Amino acid sequence: MDKVTFDQLQETLYHEELPNGLHVYILPKQGFNKTFATFTTKYGSIDNNFIPLGKEEATKVPDGIAHFLEHKLFEDEEGDVFQLFSKQGASANAFTSFTRTAYLFSSTMNIKQNLKTLLDFVQKPYFTDESVEKEKGIIEQEIRMYDDNPDWQNYFGLIRTMYETHPVKIDIAGTVESINKITKEMLYTCYETFYHPSNMVFFVVGNIDPEETMAIIKENQAGKKFSDQKEIQRFFETEKKEVHEKELVLPMNVNTGKCLVGFKDSNPILQGKDLLKHELSIQLLLEMMFGQSTENYQKLYDEGLIDDSFSFDYSGEQGFGFSVIGGDSDKPQQLAERIKSIVDSFEKTDLDENLMEGLRKKKIGYFLRSLNSPEYIANQFTRYRFNDMDLFDVIPVLETIKKEDLQTAFKEHFITETQMSRCLVTPKGA
Amino acid sequence: MKVGPLNIHVLPSTTYKTNTVFLHMRSPLTKETVTKRALLPYVLQSGTKDYPTRKEIRKELDDLYGATLNVDVSKKGEFHLMSFRMEVANEKFLSDDRPLFERALKLFASVLLSPKESDGAFDKSIVEGEKRTLKQKLASVYDDKMRYANKRLTEEMCEDEPFGLFVLGDSDDIPSIDEKNLFEYYKEVLNSDRLDLFIVGDVKEEELGPIMNKYFKEFSSIAERDQNTVPENNINKLDRKPREVIEEQEVQQGKLHIGYRTNVTYKDDDYFALQLFNGVFGGFSHSKLFINVREKASLAYYAASRVESHKGLLIVMSGIESKKFDDATKIIFEQMEAMKAGDFTEDDLEQTKAVFKNQLLETMDVPRGRIELEYHNQLSDKKRPIEEWIKEIDNVNKEDIVRVAGKVQLDTVYFLKGKEETNNG
């Protein structure tokens, strides 16, 4: 077992790669009641075209199948896994993102048993035709719920303006039509391909003894057999560099309009420290242009173009990366124009070193605060790990970012002519 | 610890990388004050004497290593709460070890006690800006259908009670509020609200005393007040027949919200029996609602219930296909009848106790959660030390739950359904 200590943060991280390829990470946290564990596969909504395990040819699967599989894994031969966790005083959950499916529990008791339950249910699929059919009604209502959610529609609308072919544009839960095509056989195919331990990470954070915890996980894994797996072949259609379309307007049953502006990475191939540096640079730039302590924010607010819902974010993975800026607005069109002109005029100003220093501090403080949250640590660490980054590099990398790095990142990312698009939600009939 | 009417509660902990300051200001919910209170914290966080604009305040927060300041309003029983929360990094985890906490407290006190004012009025442009924002926030409640349905149910169910008022107030009140009358109300609040300040983090109570007296010294000259008048709760509606309210909108999914009166609140001996009743009935993913509405009947993605501890309400929420209203309500009512008939096992109860205790312990892991738990005791005449909760939970038995179930009464069924032409599910 390796051990890395972060003196300033007063954290120690333990790690081991097991013989079956599973990477296990353990972060002890004194003073916490709860233990939080995630078991995550590098498999999400974008992985819809791949060569199934043991096959020669690629196959394409229906939209939303990774999410469907996430739902169905909770059913076991003996019944419902939620029930089992409850009996052991744990609450379990799961989520599917573009690139990951994570299963998790949090608990303050029976930790050993709960760890085993998490490992066992994820590694024991049990699908029947009947249970697959039954799940369709539940997921249909999940999709309908998102259909009525203007923020979700706005966000996915924006992604659809940016991407023409890349599967990031597919709604994570799929559509009512696509999920109805899903069969038990397809679920097994996806499961066998993507749930091999070598494609997964197990993360435990809490008031635990690292040696003992590692021993439990190792023993559990040693008792199971897995076939060797070569690297998974995934296919993504070539995505053009520039945005797919400049604007999408979605009239919805709402009172208040919404505006999101996106910037699409033109060459999303970065991984590791380069991606971390890129991500942090873009986030600093967004803070400089749109943060609450800027003149721009104050103006937009005073002019009544934004309210407290205004926010911004950048997310990048291999194959896609974009920033999103916006929020509720009575005048979504006008807000989109203003965001564009703020970016355009930022290009002409010189980067203020003092401002940069202040925002660097802010980001460091935010990072420290997020280390209060076991959920954040486990989820974010895993996301970083799948992109060859290390969560605990955030502060060191933040400290090395220079003015020139920001200038480069700005030039590459914030190109209003070709890389910018917008999605507006407007009140129907208004 | 106290500074005049300001009650200070210190919860020392070395678990966190940050220190948290949290103030609850509270007074009874009334039609006359609800909208002003929804506005006031937002005005206060937008400009002070020392930091005259929102931008300057935010700049100071950035310099404090990204300290956060959040304000909020909420309802707890028939009380209306204005809350201010600041969280700041503990410098011992930073390479720069200049102290941050005292500087953060100074800013916090400035927001609370030294607003930007002249001639007994707030800054006009700040107040007008926040009025506009509040108006937009109120309008957009309609856009979040789950929230909208919850608001509508509460309005219908508690139409003659203060609890029926919406937490953000009423759009119609906004035009009559100005920088002068809001400032007058602010002065009134300082003289009459119940004030509880919580500090969670790596702090020592004895060292905090002088700092508190320094930054909150204005309070030392303000008179003490009647500390804990709990408004008369739970207008008795036993004679009222259950009502059904159906509203149509263009939605893909119907929102079914059902309100019950529990006739049990935090002050009652049956409080934990009620919490466990809710756990067996609908609070968790092993509960009757989840199992029967979702897992067995595939009618919904979510079907859950929650308890309002200080008002004595139980609210069921589920998102269903509009034409499945009858099926869903039938199953939900059957689950309630099963609870009343004691149709659940000792195992169900043990499982619920385990999960509920777990949830409590987890809540205590989060600074804000710990404060919320402690605050229950400031909201009620009944005092229950947090340490005793676990014991009280363990003492609940099946008979207690059936007795509580017997007190639970259906009040209002609210359904937000899709219009026929959009109901294509």
Do residue B267 and residue B185 come from a single domain? Answer: no
Q: Which residues of A touch B276 (CB under 8 A)?
A: none
What distance in Å separates the CA atoms of residue A52 and residue A33, rounded to the nearest whole number?
42
Do A64 and A181 form a contact (C-beta atoms < 8 A)?
no
A70: annotated active-site residue? yes
Q: Any idea what the CATH number is for the domain that residue B401 is in?
A: 3.30.830.10
CB contact under 8 A, B301 and A142: yes
Rg (CA), chain A: 23
CB pairs under 8 A between A and B: 195
**Alpha helices, DSSP H only, in B341-384?**
346-364, 367-379
Q: Closest approach of chain A CAs to the CA of B220, in angstroms?
A: 33
Please give the full DSSP string across A30-67, using - where no structure is assigned: TT-S-EEEEEEES--TT--EE--TT-SS-EE--TTHHH
Q: Closest approach of chain B CAs to the CA of A116, in angstroms?
A: 18
Q: Which residues of B touch A331 (CB under 8 A)?
A: none
For chain B, the farthest-separated pair of C-alpha atoms sits apart, in whole angstroms, at 67
What distance in Å separates the CA atoms of residue A278 and residue A272, rounded to the nearest whole number?
10
Question: Does residue B134 have a pLDDT over 50?
Answer: yes
Q: Which residues of B touch A137 (CB under 8 A)?
A: 298-299
Give a three-class secondary structure readout of B402-422.
HHHHHHCEEEEEEEEEECHHH
What distance in Å separates the CA atoms of residue B104 and residue B346, rounded to the nearest whole number?
50
Q: Closest approach of chain B CAs to the CA of A91, in angstroms?
A: 7
Looking at the 3D structure of chain A, how many domains does it have?
2
Do residue A275 and residue A376 come from a single domain? Answer: yes
Do residue B402 and residue B298 come from a single domain? Answer: yes
Looking at the 3D structure of chain B, how many domains does it have?
2
* Predicted local confidence at residue B424, as pLDDT: 44
What distance in Å separates the CA atoms of residue B133 and residue A302, rounded to the nearest whole number?
10
User: What digits encode the pLDDT tens for the residues B302-319?
Assistant: 999 999 999 999 999 999
Neighbour tally for A130: CB within 10 Å: 9
CB contact under 8 A, B59 and A358: yes
Q: Which residues of B touch A295 (CB under 8 A)?
A: 55
Tokens read off for B187 = 């002065």
Residue B37 located in a structural domain: yes
Do residue B59 and residue B97 come from a single domain? Answer: yes
Neighbour tally for A128: CB within 10 Å: 12
User: What digits encode the pLDDT tens for the residues B163-207?
Assistant: 999 999 999 999 999 999 999 999 999 999 999 999 999 998 888
Do residue B69 and residue B190 come from a single domain? Answer: yes
Share of chain B above pLDDT 90, in %: 86
CB contact under 8 A, A256 and B139: yes
CB contact under 8 A, A144 and B53: no
What distance in Å separates the CA atoms of residue B161 and residue B171, rounded to the nearest whole number?
19
Do residue A193 and residue A251 come from a single domain? Answer: no
CB contact under 8 A, A33 and B55: no
Do residue A39 and residue A151 come from a single domain? Answer: yes
Residue B237 located in a structural domain: no
Do B19 and B202 form a contact (C-beta atoms < 8 A)?
yes
Residue B33 located in a structural domain: yes
User: For B137, which of A307, A366, A373 is closest by C-beta distance?
Assistant: A307
Residue A231 located in a structural domain: no
Which positions ≥6 away from B99 have C-beta within 8 Å? B91
Report, as an integer, the average pLDDT of B11-24: 95
Q: Which of A381, A337, A48 is nearest to A203 (CA)?
A: A381
Do residue B193 and residue B287 come from a single domain? Answer: no
pLDDT in tens, chain A (430 residues): 999 999 889 999 999 999 999 999 999 999 999 999 999 999 999 999 999 998 999 999 999 999 999 999 999 888 889 999 999 999 999 999 999 999 999 999 999 999 999 999 999 999 999 999 999 999 999 999 999 999 999 999 999 999 999 999 999 999 999 999 999 999 999 999 999 999 999 999 999 999 999 999 999 999 999 988 889 999 998 999 999 999 999 999 999 999 999 999 999 999 999 999 999 999 999 999 999 999 999 999 999 999 999 999 999 999 999 999 999 999 999 999 999 999 999 987 778 888 888 899 999 999 999 999 999 999 999 999 999 999 999 999 999 999 999 999 999 999 999 999 999 999 997 6
Do B57 and B48 form a contact (C-beta atoms < 8 A)?
yes
- Of B171, B190, B221, the position where a domain reaches its end is B221
Strand partners, B210: none
Do residue A151 and residue A297 come from a single domain? Answer: no
Do residue A97 and residue A173 come from a single domain? Answer: yes
Give the structural domain span for A252. 247-427
Do residue B385 and residue B315 come from a single domain? Answer: yes
Structure-model confidence comparison of residues B235 and B400, the more confident one: B400
Do residue B370 and residue B277 come from a single domain? Answer: yes
Do residue A293 and residue A423 come from a single domain? Answer: yes
What distance in Å separates the CA atoms of residue A363 and residue B89, rounded to the nearest whole number?
11
Do residue A253 and residue A180 come from a single domain? Answer: no
Do residue B212 and residue B125 come from a single domain? Answer: yes
Catalytic residue among A11, A57, A70, A239: A70
Question: Does residue B233 have a pLDDT over 70?
Answer: no
Do residue B8 and residue B67 come from a single domain? Answer: yes
CB contact under 8 A, A368 and B359: no
Query: Which H helix or E strand runs over B29?
Result: none
**Alpha helices, DSSP H only, in A148-252?**
150-162, 176-179, 184-194, 210-222
With bands split at pLDDT 50, 70 and 90, how would you rate the model's confidence at B300?
A: very high
Do residue A158 and residue A274 come from a single domain? Answer: no
Residue A8 located in a structural domain: yes
Q: Which residues of B touch A369 (CB under 8 A)?
A: 17-18, 66, 68, 87, 89
Do A324 and A313 form a contact (C-beta atoms < 8 A)?
yes
Report, as an integer, the average pLDDT of B50-59: 95
> What's chain B's length in residues?
425
Residue A230 located in a structural domain: no
Q: Which of A103, A366, A211 is nearest to B61 (CA)?
A: A366
Interface test mutation site (partner B, options A32, A88, A148, A392, max chain B beta carbons within 10 A): A148
Give the structural domain span for B275. 243-422
Residue B230 located in a structural domain: no
Would an 8 Å CB–CB cutoff place A366 in contact with chain B? yes
* Nearest residue on chain B to A31, alpha-carbon basis: B15
* Predicted local confidence at residue B422, as pLDDT: 47
Do residue B159 and residue B58 come from a single domain? Answer: yes
User: For A308, which of B133, B285, B300 is closest by C-beta distance?
Assistant: B133
Residue A183 located in a structural domain: yes
ipTM: 0.92
Do residue A395 and residue A283 come from a single domain? Answer: yes
Do residue A270 and residue A193 come from a single domain? Answer: no
- Of B161, B190, B221, the position where a domain reaches its end is B221
* Nearest residue on chain A to B346, alpha-carbon basis: A87
Q: Any idea what the CATH number is for the domain that residue A394 is in?
A: 3.30.830.10
Residue B135 located in a structural domain: yes
User: What digits encode the pLDDT tens for the residues B100-131?
Assistant: 999 999 999 999 999 999 999 999 999 999 99
Do A87 and A135 form a contact (C-beta atoms < 8 A)?
no
Residue A227 located in a structural domain: no
Do residue B32 and residue B159 come from a single domain? Answer: yes
Do residue A276 and residue A163 come from a single domain? Answer: no
User: For B253, which of A106, A148, A302 is closest by C-beta distance?
Assistant: A148
What distance in Å separates the CA atoms of residue A350 and residue B26, rounded to the nearest whole number?
47
Residue A66 located in a structural domain: yes
Which positions ≥6 away from A215 have C-beta within 8 Å? none
Question: Does residue B228 have a pLDDT over 80?
Answer: no
Residue A239 located in a structural domain: no
Number of Cα atoms under 13 Å in the Cβ half of residue B149: 28
Interface test mutation site (partner A, options B53, B143, B276, max chain A beta carbons within 10 A): B143
Q: Which residues of A touch B15 (CB under 8 A)?
A: 29-32
* Predicted local confidence at residue B425, as pLDDT: 40
Residue A366 located in a structural domain: yes
Do residue B274 and residue B206 come from a single domain? Answer: no
Do residue A144 and residue A289 come from a single domain? Answer: no
Question: Does residue B47 have a pLDDT over 90?
Answer: yes
* Predicted local confidence at residue A229, as pLDDT: 84
**Interhelix angle B124-140/A295-302, nearest 10 degrees:** 70
- Of A184, A205, A222, the position where a domain reaches its end is A222
Interface test mutation site (partner A, options B19, B46, B55, B357, max chain A beta carbons within 10 A): B55
User: What digits encode the pLDDT tens for the residues B325-364?
Assistant: 999 999 999 999 999 999 999 999 999 999 999 999 999 9
Tokens read off for A83 = 């029930």
Sign of CA dihedral A71, A321, A160, B146: positive
Neighbour tally for A412: CB within 10 Å: 15
Question: Does residue B230 have a pLDDT over 80?
Answer: no
